[in-house]
Each structure stands twice: as structure tokens, then as C-alpha cells.
A and B are shown apart, each in its own frame.
Chain A
Amino acid sequence: MPRKYYFEDFAPGDVWEMEGPVVTKEEIVDFATRFDPQYFHVDEAAAKNSPYGGLIASGWHTVSLCMRMMCDRYLLNCVSLGSPGVEHLRWLHPVRPGDRLRMKMTVIEAKISRTKPDRGSVLHHWEVVNQEGQLVMIMDGHGILGRRPPVRDP
């Protein structure tokens, strides 16, 4: 059994690091063809004449890859009860074919729910960097996590 994580495992100041896959050209074009077919995401030749000088990933693709990193690192082992939203999402640097993304999550705030005592709300700060250490994206996001069940006497 993998270790389970609960609301109590996310205390302000805690840092979690996670690694993502290498982003391929095929994936960038495939995601963008479905969801964001702007020419600098889908057309390699046309992208050369864009302000980016080449193909770049849709920002929604980058953020979706981050979601997958979170899932693989801890979220699938939590009682994850969804998210009300995100503040200050910034796409700071283009993500290009061949980039490998890493992510650092810092817990900013953790509050037990006033109306539902079995859960709490965690505010996270995420920083995403590429293989050269350039900051490509930052985001602050909320997540609702289940609390550790009380230990009962046998």
C-alpha cells in the first residue's frame, strides 16, 4: 500500500518537489490541435516567424502537465475533494519541444473547514522550471483535502 497523505501532512512552509516528463513536439501539437490551435502551438514552420521563434506549448498544456505531476507525486494518495480555484497564474517563459519540467510546491496556508470538520483547505504556491532552471510558470492554488481519521481505541 502506498502511503496515504492527509490535510495534516501539508503544513505552511512545507516544500514538495516533483519531476515531469520531457515535453515532445508531437504532444505539444496534439494538445494544441485539440484545445488551442493558435499557429505558434500547431504549425512549426509558421511558429518560426512568431514572436517566440518556434513552436511553444499552450499554457493550458503546461498547467495540465503540472496537474499530472501533482497527481503522481501525492494527490492520488490523498482524499482529494477538488479545488475551488487558482490565483495569480503566470506563464513566464515559453515551454518548447524537448523541455523537461520540474515543479516545486510550497504550502502557504492550511485551514480546517469551519462547516465540514472532516476536511481542510490548503493554499499552495507552485513554481515550474525547465531543465535550464528558467522559471516557466508560477501559480497559487487551493485544494480541499480530507483530514486524517481519528485513531480509535481497539
Chain B
Amino acid sequence: MTTIKYYWEDFTPGWVYESPPRLLTAQQIMAFGREYDPQSYHTDEEAAKSSPFGGLIASGWQTCSVAMRLMCDGYLLQTTCIGSPGLEELRWLKPVRPGDALRLHTTVLEQTPSQKDPARGTVKFRWDVLNQKDQVVCSMTGRQHYRRRTPAQ
């Protein structure tokens, strides 16, 4: 097991993290598209040229999934995270294209102790995914549950 570095207490409002960039290739875009979102602008380079996007773009769910991986590699696997109840808002703001290098920017918005379990708490985050031109391609707000370092008294 990985060493735990961050508990619920560590995610105070204003806590930020920025990941290193991760390149997304045409092959990865088409592989994800074939599996989960086989609309032609995600799976077919030729057909995508005559789509409203003018070329191949990544499924929005792939962008979210890559953001999740950047989060895992960046800090999440060293935390006491025990899952997420969901997202309040998710916006796909710009297409993600082959060769784009995505990075994740995390900001803590709120930190709430659990009403039911003194050993847990919830953190509300804003997650922005940026490309190599510093454009925000995807933005989410959502919550995750964490175990506390010290249970509430």
C-alpha cells in the first residue's frame, strides 16, 4: 500500500495542485471512442474532417477520465479518499484534439465534516483541465469523501 500523505484535514479551502502535462494521441482518442463513444468525430479521422469540429476530437468522458488519472498520479493515491458522491457541474468548454497536452488544476472550495461519521469528511473541489495553450477545456465542481487523520470529538 502507498503511504498516506493527505487526510481530510489537509484539504483546506484554497489548497491547489497542478499536474504535469499528459499528451493525448490520435490512437488513444480513437481507441476510447471505439469503446465508449463511437460518434464519428471520435473514431474516424476522415469523417471527422467534415464534422462541425473540423477534425478528430476526444470524447468528453475521455477528457474526464484522463483528468482522473492525472489526479491519481498527482496526489489522490496518497490520500484517504474513499470515493465521490458526484459532480455538481461539468462543462466541456473546448474540443480536445490529437497532440494536446492536458494538465489538471485542482482547487479546494469547501471542507465539511461528516454529519454521520466522525472519522470522515467531505471536500468540495473545482477541477479544471487545461491544454498546452492554457485554455480551460473542461471544468468540474464535485465532492469527494476522505477519512480524517483524527476523528471529530
Contact = CB atoms under 8 A, between A and B. Distances in A.
Interface of A: 34-40, 46, 50-52, 58-60, 63-65, 67-68, 71, 75-76, 80-92
A38 B77 contact: yes
B interface: dominant SS: mixed
A89 B60 CA distance: 14
A89 B89 CA distance: 8
A36 B65 CA distance: 7
A5 to B, nearest CB: 14
Contacts of B35: 64, 68
A interface: dominant SS: mixed
B123 interface: no
B86 A36 contact: no
- Those 3 A-B pairs whose CB atoms lie nearest each other, nearest first: A90-B86, A64-B36, A35-B65
Interface of B: 1, 35-39, 52-53, 59-61, 64-66, 68-69, 72, 76-77, 81-92, 142
Given A35-B69, A36-B68, A81-B52, A67 B89 contact: no
B53 A82 contact: yes
Contact of B85 (A71, A76, A91): A91
A34 B61 CA distance: 13
Contacts, number: 90
Contact of B39 (A46, A71, A91, A92): A71
30 contacts: A35-B66, A35-B69, A36-B65, A37-B69, A38-B72, A38-B81, A46-B1, A50-B82, A51-B82, A59-B84, A60-B64, A60-B65, A60-B68, A63-B64, A64-B36, A64-B37, A64-B59, A64-B65, A67-B36, A67-B37, A76-B39, A80-B39, A81-B52, A82-B53, A84-B91, A85-B90, A85-B91, A86-B87, A88-B86, A88-B88
Given A64-B36, A67-B61, A76-B39, A91 B91 contact: no
A15 to B, nearest CB: 23
B72 A83 contact: no
Contacts of A90: 85-86
A64 B142 CA distance: 18
